[in-house]
Structures are given as C-alpha cells and as structure tokens.
Structure 1
Amino acid sequence: MRTLFVTWDGPQVSYVESLFVPIFEGLAAHGYPVDILQFRWGDAAQEEKVRSVCTASGIGYRARPIWRGVGGLGPFATALAGGRAITAAARHFGSDLVMPRSLMPALATLAARGLDRPIVFDADGLQADERVDFAGLRPEGAVYRILRDVEAQIIRRSTAVLARSPRACDILLARAGPPVGSQRFHIVTNGRDVAAFHPGDATTRLAVRDELGLPADATVLVYAGSVGPQYRLDQAADLLRHVRQRDHAARLLVLSGSPADAASALAAAGCVDGTFTIMRSAPADVPRYLAAADVGIAFRTPSFSMQAVAPVKVAEYLLCGLPVIGNPEIGDNRAASSAGVFFDSAAGNAAGADWVIDRVRADRSALRDTARRIGVEHCSLDRAVRDYLGVLRDIRGSEHTSGQSPSLG
C-alpha cells in the first residue's frame, strides 16, 4: 500500500526532513512506502534540500509553489487549484491512499477531482484555532468559518484521522458530528530516532560545552524550536534569572531556525548579554548540543488549541537525557511527570529554579538515565512507526475483507 503525503510549508520549517522522513523510511521497510507532495514557498535551494533528503531516503518528492498575496487569497487559490496536483501526483506515484497534513492540504484534497482513493487526515493539531489564539484570526470571520468547514468535511470524507492527543480526538469527533464514530480516530507519536538523540558521554558533553563557550560546571538551560509569542521565551528568560540567583554562572542556550527573532525576544524580556547563546544549528548537531545541557525548556502559552499538540522538542529532550520544565497538559507527559523528570511550570519560575538546582543538579546522573528511559519508552521513532503502521494495516485489512477500497463517507 503506497501513500501520498501532502503537506504545506514555509521556508522556516524543516519538520518534513527531520520528523516525517525517518517515519516514512520505517514504514517503507515494512512494505508501506510513502511519497511527498509539498506545497511550499521559499527559495529554490530549500526545495532542493528537501528533494535531496527524500531522494536519499528512497521517498518520491514533488513540490508546488504557494501563491501569496492577492489580499490573502493566494493560499486559498493555491489549495483549490492544488487538487489537480494531488490527482496527478497520486497517479504518478501509484498511490493507494492520500494523507493530507493540516487544513490547506485538506482543502486541496477535497478539491481533487477523480481522487478515488481512501483519505487519511493527519490533523496534527487544531490549525484554525491556533490562528485565533496566536495569529489574530477572528473566530467570527469568514476565514475561520471556511477552515472549520474544511476540517469537518475532511474528517467526514476520511477513512482514518490521526491526532496527537486524546483531547484532540474528542474535539474533532464532536465537530464532525454523526455518523463519524470514535473508531475513526487514532493517536500517533511524534517519535525521534533513539540512536541519533542520546545523552552521549561525559567527555563529549564537556567538549560540546567548550565548543559553545559554556562553563563546564554551570547550569545550562536549553530551548530548541520555533520562536513566537506562544513559545514564551520571556518566561525562559525569567527562569534563567531565578536560576542565576542560585548559580551565577548559569546560561541559556537557544537553538532556533530564527536566531534574530530569538535575540529580539530575549532582549525584550531583559535577558542580559553574556548569559545566553543563540545559534542556528545543523539538524545533525542538535542532539549533542541538547545533551550538553542540564534541563530542557518547553513553555507554551496555555490555550484551547494547545490541547491538540505534542511538542517534538519534549521527545528530543528526554531522549538526550534532559529533564524538562514546561506545561504537562500540552501533549501527553504523564509518564515523565510521574518519573520526576517533567516539572510543571504552573508552580512558577522560583519553584522551577529550586527544582533545577536542588533536584536536577543534585542528582544529574540518575535523572539523565530516567529521562532517557522515559524517552525510549514513549517517544521513540520505532513507536511512531508502529502507530502509523497500525492505521495503515487496518485500512489494508478492510480492503482485503471487502474486496474494494473503504468508503470515503
């Protein structure tokens, strides 16, 4: 069974290469190859980079440009016209099913004529609501209503719907309404390769600190990921101030594809020069940089939409042996919290700083081992592959049972 994965991306994201390509390699090894159709905007060099990664992994790849501007209508025009690109790609690759990720690819899939294949909708959050929470989209406006209608229609048309949390399944089920049943929804893991993300050894960690100009014995907090108001770098700066009251040499390391934005956010938060390091790192270097730190930061602004996400950075932190401070209700962090390697940021940054110094630094080796164990058990690439395989095997089984493709209704 061959899948066409349809995604929609700007120039600052790399999750296709870093998150999905390893999962798709794992699926192919089990006889479920995946090809990618990426609607994107950005320069040609970035597109070629994605193409090269896919080619090296045996994954078919096509790209289509996103029209921007035209008073904000360009993306919608792209999606509506993109139905033809989906149909053509499915025929070219010999796809047996189509998997749109998020709402704009879902709109393109709904617009595709003659697409007589099962659909698996990878919801991966509540995108329309995220725009309301963090991008100023008006919930009473036409764009939000259109996106919500696309969300409901794609769920009704899909054979299966993938989500990242039980709460996301409940919300999407209620929105779609009958005759959609709960059996249509499946939770999948944002897993990472345990061989790539690991704690390393003491010698390597010290060498990385020396490379980055970080004191060998200082407390190092690390944040990896995107920059924006919902990621609360201001809260990270405040945590650093509290930690530095206990450890004057403490530092904050920020790994981001938007270093200038990160610097502006920290400056606005009053973070003092010399107490933080910001860098854009190659994906292959991220694990060793993380492993050299003491604690991973996963702050998010609590909101309605955040109930449906599972931050990839938490998996990376745990696999690299880092205890985490953040919002435990965002994603499924019950195992990490129970094991004592996830601190609830709701307790406040003063209490968080005490946890970092009195608990993490005091018992660093044991907590490193515990974080790694939890990461391997709950956040591995193998688990992610198993989650996707379960869904695809169910669809293949229903095809064999009925002798035809599952109903799209």
Structure 2
Amino acid sequence: MNVLYITYDGITDHIGQSQVAPYLIGLGKKGHQITLLSAEKIDRADIIDKYKMKFAEAGVEWHFVTYHKSPPVLSSMYDILHMRKRAKELIQKNKIELLHCRSYMASLIGLHFKRTQGIKFIFDMRDFWPDAGREIKRFDVENNFLHKSVYKYFKKKEKEFLEESSHIISLTEAGKLVLQGWKKEGMKIKSPISVIPCCADFDVYDRSNLDPQALENMRQSLGIIGNEFILNYLGSLGPAYLTDEMMDVFRTLLQKKPDAKFLIVANNDHHLAVEAATRKGIAPEKIIVKRGTKNEVPYLIALSNLSLFFIIPSFAKQACSPTKLAELLAMNVPVIGNTKIGDVDDILRLDLNNSAVVKSFTNEEYDSVLSKVLPKINEGNNHIRESSLRFSLECGIDSYNKVYQSLNSN
C-alpha cells in the first residue's frame, strides 16, 4: 500500500527516533511503500544525516520541512501550511492511497486531503492532546484568550478527526473507552478503533546484548558500590510528574533497604529532582541524577532493581502509554506506577511482572506496595520480559500492518 505518514514530531526528536522511525522501517519490510513527511529541527544535522541513510536503506522516502518554534501559534500555522503543500506534491507523485497522521497537528493535513481528494486517513491520536495541553497550562484557557481560542479550535477538530477518519488508533484501552462513551453520547464515530500501545525495540532493550565491561564502567562512573539497591526513575521532569511523591516512596524504601540509591535518568530540569530530595531531607549522596543518551539508557536500566514513575492523574492521562514502561519491562525491571494512568492498572501486576500500582499518595500505601513488591523481586525477575512481548516493536509493527491491510481491502 502507498502510505504517506505525516508527523509534526520530528525524527530529530527522541520520540521520533523511538516511536516513528522503527515502525516505518518495519512496515516497509512488510511490503508497504512508505513516504514520510515531518517537521525537523535542522540544527541537528548529524541526526538528519544518520536517518537519511537508515531510511534510504529501508526504502522509506523521507521529506521534511523546517520546524519553527516562534512566534507561538503563527509558526505552527506556517509549518502546517508548508507541510500541506509538500503533502499535495507527494500524494500526486507517489500515488498515495493512505494518509497515516500522528496526533492532531498532522491530522489537520490528513483531514484536508480526505475531504478534497477522498484519500483514506488514519487518526493516530496518541492522547487527548488539547486536554493534555490544558491540564499542564500549555493552553491557559482561564487566563489567555489566544490559548482558549486554540484549545476550542482543536476540540472542534478532534470531533471532526474522530467522525471523518477511516481508522482511529488509541494508545490505551482506557482511551478507547472514552471514545466509545462519546459515541454513545451522540458523536458520529463510525470508524474502527484499534489500541496500539507505545512499544520498545526488545533487541535494544535486552540485557544479554549489553557489553559487560561497559555496564561495569557505567556502574563505577555513577558511584554504585557492590550490591546497592537501585531505584530508578526514567523520563522527563516537570509539571506533569509527581517528583515530591516519588521522593516519599524512596524515603520509605530507605527504611527497608538503607543502602538504596535513587537513580534519576532525565534529560531536563535536573534541579527539580535535587530540590525535591532536599525538601524531603534525603542525603545528597543517595541521589544520582544523570542525562542518559539513547545508547546509555539500556545500561542505566540494567543497573536498576526497581523502577518508579508517578504521573498526575487526569482526564487526558487516560490515553497515556509511557514509552518507558515497555523499555523497563523488556529489561526485566519491575515497576511501581500510580493508578488512573492509561492502562497501567491492568499492566502492572504482582503475579505477571512483580510490579504494582499505588492507589493513593500516602506513606502507608507506599509501605504496603513495597512490602509486596520487594519479596517478589527476591524471587527473581527473569520472567518479566517474556510476559511483556505485546509491548515489543515487532508486535506494534504487526498491529499497524493489520490496520493497513484492513484499509487496503476496503
């Protein structure tokens, strides 16, 4: 099938490298003719050159426009218009049969060509993007008229995407339930809804593929001594994450394992973790904060005994599928998360992956959960990877391939 994949998230961004490029390369191997159109930060020439070669070897035809960050709103409008013009040229040149649009910005283009040329259009929604923006004040609808206007515009477009797309992809079953609820309330959703979570490359996130000496070098560079118990946080820091509450969990862990250290792997705002630890009276030597490169992350995970993430529960987070979850489970690392985040309540289970979900942010709950998880870890974690294969890249590619095949046969 001739597919034009459109994403406003660039391949030069981490999310493009983990959640776009591998899937498209895999779908190309399934026999689909893939054309990719993205918006890129052109100052990252080394990454662009690397992926030009990767895509060329895989038969993926890559085109991109320059991403602009400012002025707000106007720069995005300019980029989308530029992408729409380029998309029109590619549709004609490559005889495009399907538009696969990642999230809301790209779907503005997909909807346009569905209406004007009748081309099938996948709304790969990722999350409830307008509401996610409202919740973290990217759209400050209460205090900023422009933000309120943009939010209302995208809520209107969201309805149109859902009602006019040929297929809808949700990251979570919880998100799908929301859409089914909207349908019962009168929204004219006619297209099938598939659930495809964020996946990880299980070849990359595989302990047996790591260099033992490189792992030991990483251990020494971080000051990890002997068999110290390592709690891990992997991901971003900021307003959507409960850093103080995670420090409370670590304090509870220290009562059970006094030698424990908290390894925080984040590429932004390290001061937030340091300040939270200080507020909670945690000794500085107990906290390790590191910026991890793509190649380093599997090693950093491998040094960990247990991982933790707390995300502020909200309406939008019902559609959240943390990429880190697939990466951690692939590496046989159990996870403690919090309730009402996507499908986390169903995924993290003591009987399946030595993991658990915190139902409330209290010290009593943290103690209870740790008292259940730590004995399971002592029994062994080697089964976690095998029980998590539905989050493998291969499984994700197969799921997208089934969607493409269903649209090709209609």
Q: Tell me the equivalent position of 1:82.
A: 83
CA distance in 1, matches of 2:163, 2:238: 33
Q: Output the amino acid matched with 1:117.
A: I
Which secondary structure does the structure 1 equivalent of 2:8 belong to? strand
Q: Tell me the equivalent position of 1:276.
A: 287
Higher mean displacement: 165-174 or 122-131: 165-174
CA distance in 2, matches of 1:375, 1:206: 27
Higher mean displacement: 150-159 or 279-288: 279-288
Match of 2:157 among 150, 156, 159: 150
Q: How far off its partner does 1:146 sit? A: 0.3
Q: Is the 8 A contact 1:86 1:109 kept in 2?
A: no
Q: Tell me the equivalent position of 1:263.
A: 271
For normalisation by structure 2, the TM-score amounts to: 0.85
Give CA deviations for 1:165-208 in whole Å, capped at 9, x if unaligned. Answer: 22322333555755423x52111132222222124499946564
Q: Is the 8 A contact 2:232 2:301 kept in 1?
A: yes
For normalisation by structure 1, the TM-score amounts to: 0.86
Matched residue count: 393
Residues 296, 115 of structure 1: CA spacing in aligned structure 2 closer, same or farther, 3 A cutoff? Answer: farther
CA distance in 1, matches of 2:379, 2:209: 14
Q: Is the 8 A contact 1:341 1:370 kept in 2?
A: no
Q: Is the 8 A contact 1:196 1:287 kept in 2?
A: yes
Residues 374, 281 of structure 1: CA spacing in aligned structure 2 closer, same or farther, 3 A cutoff? Answer: same
Q: How far off its partner does 1:133 sit? A: 0.8
Which secondary structure does the structure 2 equivalent of 1:274 belong to? helix
1:382 aligns with 2:382: no
Match of 2:407 among 389, 395, 406: 395
1:126 aligns with 2:128: yes
Which secondary structure does the structure 1 equivalent of 2:120 belong to? coil
Q: Tell me the equivalent position of 1:329.
A: 340
Which secondary structure does the structure 2 equivalent of 1:231 belong to? coil
Higher mean displacement: 79-88 or 44-53: 44-53
Q: How far off its partner does 1:302 sit? A: 0.3
Q: Tell me the equivalent position of 1:170.
A: 177
Residues 316, 186 of structure 1: CA spacing in aligned structure 2 closer, same or farther, 3 A cutoff? Answer: same
CA distance in 2, matches of 1:14, 1:198: 19
Higher mean displacement: 146-155 or 276-285: 276-285
Q: Tell me the equivalent position of 2:357.
A: 344
Q: Tell me the equivalent position of 1:190.
A: 198
Q: How far off its partner does 1:344 sit? A: 1.5
Residues 73, 4 of structure 1: CA spacing in aligned structure 2 closer, same or farther, 3 A cutoff? Answer: same
Q: Is the 8 A contact 1:87 1:114 kept in 2?
A: no
Which secondary structure does the structure 1 equivalent of 2:300 belong to? helix
Q: Output the amino acid matched with 1:323.
A: P
Q: Is the 8 A contact 1:200 1:291 kept in 2?
A: no
The within-5 A match list for 1:9-408 is: 9=9, 13-41=13-41, 43-45=43-45, 46-70=47-71, 72-112=73-113, 114-139=116-141, 141-173=148-180, 175=182, 177-181=186-190, 183-200=191-208, 204=212, 208-258=218-268, 261-270=269-278, 272-333=283-344, 334-337=346-349, 338-339=351-352, 341-347=354-360, 348-349=362-363, 351-352=365-366, 355-356=369-370, 358-364=371-377, 366-376=379-389, 378-398=390-410
Q: Is the 8 A contact 1:17 1:53 kept in 2?
A: no
Which secondary structure does the structure 2 equivalent of 1:226 belong to? coil
Q: Is the 8 A contact 2:320 2:342 kept in 1?
A: yes
> Structure 1 vs Structure 2: percent identity of aligned residues?
22
Q: Is the 8 A contact 2:10 2:38 kept in 1?
A: no
Residues 304, 219 of structure 1: CA spacing in aligned structure 2 closer, same or farther, 3 A cutoff? Answer: same
Which secondary structure does the structure 2 equivalent of 1:99 belong to? strand
Which secondary structure does the structure 2 equivalent of 1:370 belong to? coil
Q: How far off its partner does 1:343 sit? A: 1.6
Residues 34, 228 of structure 1: CA spacing in aligned structure 2 closer, same or farther, 3 A cutoff? Answer: farther
Q: How far off its partner does 1:397 sit? A: 1.2
Q: Is the 8 A contact 2:353 2:387 kept in 1?
A: no
Higher mean displacement: 362-371 or 93-102: 362-371
CA distance in 1, matches of 2:241, 2:354: 20
CA distance in 2, matches of 1:4, 1:202: 36
Residues 11, 98 of structure 1: CA spacing in aligned structure 2 closer, same or farther, 3 A cutoff? Answer: closer
Q: How far off its partner does 1:79 sit? A: 2.0
CA distance in 1, matches of 2:67, 2:179: 27
Q: How far off its partner does 1:47 sit? A: 4.1
Residues 299, 42 of structure 1: CA spacing in aligned structure 2 closer, same or farther, 3 A cutoff? Answer: farther
CA distance in 1, matches of 2:245, 2:136: 17
Higher mean displacement: 236-245 or 203-212: 203-212
List alignment gaps of at least 5 residues for structure 1: 399-409
Q: Tell me the equivalent position of 1:406.
A: none
Q: Is the 8 A contact 1:81 1:108 kept in 2?
A: no
Greater RCO (CA < 8 Å, at least 6 residues apart) = 1
Q: Is the 8 A contact 2:207 2:302 kept in 1?
A: yes
Q: Output the amino acid matched with 1:156.
A: E
Q: How far off its partner does 1:128 sit? A: 0.3
Give CA deviations for 1:123-158 in whole Å, capped at 9, x if unaligned. Answer: 011000001111252457211110111111122221
Residues 350, 216 of structure 1: CA spacing in aligned structure 2 closer, same or farther, 3 A cutoff? Answer: farther
CA distance in 2, matches of 1:21, 1:12: 10
RMSD of Structure 2 on Structure 1 (CA): 2.9
